[in-house]
Amino acid sequence: MMNILIINGHPAAESLIEAMAEAYTKGARKNGAEVRVLKMSEINISLLMSQRGDKSDEPEYVNNARELIKWADHVVWFYPTWWADIPAKLKAFIEQVFTSGFAFKYKESKRYVKWDKYLNGKTAMLFSTMDGPAWYYKYFVGEPAFKMMRYNLKFCGFKKVGRKYYGSVVMSSEKQRLQWLNEIEVLGTKLK
């Protein structure tokens, strides 16, 4: 049985992202996976970080999220792409949770940066909505949010990071959005 953590990165409680995360959860559970969900809309995240290395004042959600990430074999991220990037609240969450000592640790070196990866072997899938066409974001904008997420997750030891884009949301019909939800549910059932 696979342990799947779904991170809903939308700061609002009701959204297309919420429906997508629910569709994936439904599909993964049909496949026999154990699924847990973290929602940015339910976490009171400070956009300010504590002092580097000062673990004494870390919020409770940081430790809860770390336990879920350690538990998970596969982490599935759902978020809207805003201004070619992930939402600020999700970015703050990543900065506060994926820190040195949990996700990685730098080694002593005089010549170049070396580090240990603490989240080895995990996989991730990124699902993102956007107002513009997905092909435009990928080929003309250069998909900066995906590149940042992939690089940072691999920096921490994730072995594979995939992605799927859904756009243009503003131009999509209800029928198109329902097709997206059905596709995402099916993708949840196919994970091995």
Q: How confident is the model over 71-83, as pLDDT tens digits?
A: 999 999 999 999 9
Q: Which residue range forms the structural domain that includes residue 98?
A: 3-190
Q: How confident is the model over 36-62, as pLDDT tens digits?
A: 999 999 999 987 765 555 566 788 999
Q: Place 63 in a pLDDT band, splitting at 50, 70 and 90.
A: very high
Total structural domains within the chain: 1
The answer to whether the Cα torsion of 170, 174, 178, 179 is positive or negative is negative
Average pLDDT of the segment spanning 64-76 = 98
> What percentage of residues in the chain have a pLDDT greater than 70?
95
For tokens 């969450």, the residue is: 93
- H or E stretch including 181? helix 174-190
By the 10 Å C-beta count (0-12 exposed, 13-18 middle, 19+ buried), 73 is classed as middle
Residue 138 maps to which CATH number?
3.40.50.360
Average pLDDT of the segment spanning 103-128 = 94
